[in-house]
Amino acid sequence: MTLGKIKSSLSAFAILLTTASAVAVPSMLITPATTAQEQEQIRWNLTDLYPSMDAWDSARSLTNNKIKTIEQYKGTLDQSAESLLAAFDAVSAINKDAARVFIYASLGGDEDLRNAEGQEKLGLARSMFASLGQQTAFIAPEILSIGSEKLEAFIAAEPGLAKHAFQLRDILRQEKFTLGGEAESVLANASEVLGGPQRIYSLLSTAAIPWPKVTLASEQIVTLDQAAYTRYRAVQNRDDRKKIFDTFWKTWKTYEAPFGQTLDTLVRTHIFSSKSRGYASSLDQAVSNSNVPSDVYRALVKAANDNLPSMHRYLKLRQRIMGLDDLHYYDIYPETTQLEREFSVEDAKALTLDSLQPFGDEYLTFLKQGLDADWMHVYPQPGKRSGAYMQGAGYDVHPYVLLNFNKGFEDVSTFSHEWGHAVHTLLSRKNNPYETYSYTTFTAELASTTNEVLLQEYMLAKDLSDEERLYYIDRALEGIRGSFFRQTMFAEFELTIHEMAEAGEALSGRRMTELYLELLKKYHGHDEGVMNINPAYAIEWAYIPHFYFNFYVYQYATSISGGTMFAERILAGDETARDDYINTLKAGGSEYPHALLQKAGVDLSTEKPYVTLINRMNRLMDEAEVILERMGK
């Protein structure tokens, strides 16, 4: 496993979006509790990785020393099957150690991004990976010099190479885009610098912005950081929602220029890398790593645009339920019907377990194991990384889940989403050696969005009143809007800014805001009179962290489409569907993801998955309209 593979592994296993007893973690990673919620915080147990910060530092030093030994294998890969195996076994073991060092620093740092010492530790881990990249830069060029015929002979002669065979063949697949040893070394040396925009964005968006305060109609004063925005943008009081939007986006607008420069710099790094390697575009390079055809990306964008009438129909349905004379962008998040309850973490566990019963005993055993352990960091707290993710790169340990749980049904859905990633990781680990354990995000998001669909269908299968049924229909429709249409809008924005830069057009924060405004209007039917889009809210692009993950976000939309196909087959009693799905998760990174899904009956370069999704959306809207007629709305 070369550095490129391990970095892909870390990206796939740190799944951002849209957590179990209290345990001790190193003191440098803890800040004093300042709220009751912080005092009740459910923390993950990082001592499963290292018992102390001193142990972590010793492991980091030892790994750095091991990295220096990689040079001894330079020039030996073509000598024999045995020499090739010795080199790849050594590098694989070092990668596994390095990943463990990295995620300990990363998880601890994400508890409080304001903690300078924690960020310094993470910086040391990043430097370790930069060094690893420099030391392993010779591998791909040497493998290419061996050639396919001799390499296959080595694999046939040495059984120990079986676990490395997929990667070895993948290196040959990318021969056209692999440079000579000296050039690969230069690119490896530049990796830490090229990662600068992501680090700057993270610090700017989380730790540097002075968050404003707003006073709601209830006279409650809210510090409007990212977690608070996510919660209060959905309040029922319309004036409060408008105030939240106006205040939050006005604050972000102040940083339009620096965020624009940061994102523009990131785009330029992608163009630099793709041109250096001879790719036709940044998109082609981004999807090439997983061998996903760029046609899949473009098929998705086309499908979303072709089906915007269904998106607009849904927005009109929301307006009808809410009883509004007109619809604004700040009306998009509140629940249109109410449930008089909050959901606890225990509720989230129970609903997740119950809704995933169709997956069978093997899946559920792993899920129960994780839910009973202390693998989660649950509640929001000052300085904590926003959103949610699962980190599963610690092959010899277990997955970790970060949440910002606010007790709404959306938080339950996110809970189920992230635990879909975690069980995927556990199934992959059981069925693969470390070398093929790391799956790509293309299948990773399938494992999480399928959980969301099954949770929605589980709630809708209950004997409900019209009011409750309408609530869960809206939540299901919101899942489609958020995971399909919204994420595809992001994907279209990301593709457009890259294509503009590749065509020599200038990018700036102002230009990105203009472009994003055009997309907001198109996707939300502004010109058709469906929803009014205030230009002041078009700074939202600067808030979206997924733009810093190199054509990552489109996979949410492909995944809810593929996940819907799997879920409908499973719930319809298709006896092969569950096995197809579980086998996809078990495969980990042992096959290319697009081919793996095609084998399971899901081809995301065709219309069928998207048609299946939109048909479900329209069926849900049909049912909602019948209910509204009965309710006299």
Token match 């061998």: residue?
A: 291
Q: Which of 2-6, 180-184, 268-272, 628-632 has the lowest mean pLDDT?
A: 2-6
Q: Are strands 389-391 and 213-215 parallel, antiparallel or unpaired?
A: unpaired
Q: Classify residue 112: in a domain, yes or no.
A: yes
Q: Classify residue 234: in a domain, yes or no.
A: no
Mean pLDDT of the chain: 89
Q: Is the pLDDT of residue 28 over 50?
A: no
The CATH code of the domain that includes 195 is 1.20.140.70
Q: Is the pLDDT of residue 11 over 50?
A: no
Specify the DSSP class assigned to residue 325. Answer: S
Side-chain-side CA neighbours of residue 399 (13 Å): 32
Give this prediction's pTM.
0.81
**pLDDT, mean of residues 174-184:** 73
Alpha-carbon distance 100 to 60, whole Å? 9
Q: State the amino acid at position 93 in one-letter form.
A: A
Task: Give the angle subtended at the CA of 594 by the CAs of 269 and 425, to the nearest 5°.
Answer: 85
Q: Is the pLDDT of residue 323 over 90?
A: yes
Q: Classify residue 323: in a domain, yes or no.
A: no
Alpha-carbon distance 239 to 256, whole Å? 25
> Which contacts of 3-6 are long-range, i.e. CB under 8 A and separated by 24 or more positions?
3/95, 3/129, 3/132, 3/133, 3/136, 3/137, 3/188, 4/140, 4/289, 5/95, 5/167, 5/438, 6/95, 6/98, 6/99, 6/129, 6/132, 6/438
Residue 59: pLDDT band (50, 70, 90) is very high
Q: Classify residue 572: in a domain, yes or no.
A: no
Active site residues: 418
Q: Classify residue 506: in a domain, yes or no.
A: no
Residue 532, phi then psi, degrees to nearest 5: -85, 125
Q: Classify residue 257: in a domain, yes or no.
A: no
Q: Is the pLDDT of residue 22 over 70?
A: no
Token match 């899942």: residue?
A: 479
Cβ neighbors of 389 (< 8 A, separation 6 or more) are 14, 15, 16, 17, 401, 402, 418, 421
Length of the chain counted residue by residue: 633
**pLDDT, mean of residues 20-43:** 44
**pLDDT, mean of residues 117-125:** 90
pLDDT per position as a tens digit, 486-542: 999 999 999 999 999 999 998 999 999 999 999 999 999 999 999 999 999 999 999
Structure tokens at 252: 């972000």
The residues pairing with 400 across neighbouring beta strands, listed in sequence order, are 391
Residue 205: pLDDT band (50, 70, 90) is confident
Residue 176: pLDDT band (50, 70, 90) is confident
pLDDT per position as a tens digit, 228-281: 998 899 999 999 999 999 999 999 999 999 999 999 999 999 998 888 888 899
pLDDT per position as a tens digit, 34-44: 455 556 899 99
Buried b (16+ CB within 10 A) or exposed e, 176-212: eebbebeebbebbebbbebbebbbbbbeebbeeeebe
Count up the domains in the chain and report the number: 1
Give the residue numbers spanning the domain of 10.
3-199
Residue pair 406/344 in contact (Cβ under 8 Å)? The answer is no
Cβ neighbors of 562 (< 8 A, separation 6 or more) are 446, 450, 597, 602, 604, 609
Alpha-carbon distance 492 to 522, whole Å? 12
Q: Which residue has the higher pLDDT, 441 or 90?
A: 90
Residue pair 474/493 in contact (Cβ under 8 Å)? The answer is no
Alpha-carbon distance 401 to 386, whole Å? 13
pLDDT of residue 1: 37
pLDDT per position as a tens digit, 388-414: 999 999 999 999 999 999 888 889 999
Q: Which of 56-70, 195-209, 325-339, 502-516 has the lowest mean pLDDT?
A: 195-209
Structure tokens at 382: 């000052």
Residue pair 108/44 in contact (Cβ under 8 Å)? The answer is no
Residue 376, phi then psi, degrees to nearest 5: -120, 150
CA 405 to chain centre: 17
**pLDDT, mean of residues 327-350:** 90
User: Is residue 400 classed as helix, strand or coil in its secondary structure?
Assistant: strand
Of 6, 1, 14, 130, whose CA–CA distance to 390 is shortest?
14
